[in-house]
Amino acid sequence: MSANVPSYCLSKLALNGVTIMLAAALRDDGVAVNSMCPGWVRTDMGGPDATRSVDEGADTAVWLADEAPHELTGKFFRSRAEIVWQIAPIARAISTSCKASLTG
């Protein structure tokens, strides 16, 4: 991410915020909500030099949908491993304050 590309940065911030907010709102219903990074994947966008195959890029998404424990909700993953957000304290405060507006 770069401050020189604000639209990309803001889209990632929004994705992370929505992930945390929906996870908090749906936790009591047993619905897990996570986001994930597929990595640099050999697609039309990633190009032939990308380091991951399409199967490798999809692996974490399939794992999250099919096998991952639901307790892992509200997190960000790559290669089936959690990537801890540096904004976690702020995001949790936003999640708490917004949960009522999503469920209320």
Residue positions annotated with a catalytic role = 8
Structure tokens at 18: 């929505």
Give the whole-angstrom CA distance, residue 91 versus residue 4: 23
Token couple for 52: 């991951």
Q: How far is CA 41 from CA 5, 17, 56, in A?
A: 21, 24, 8
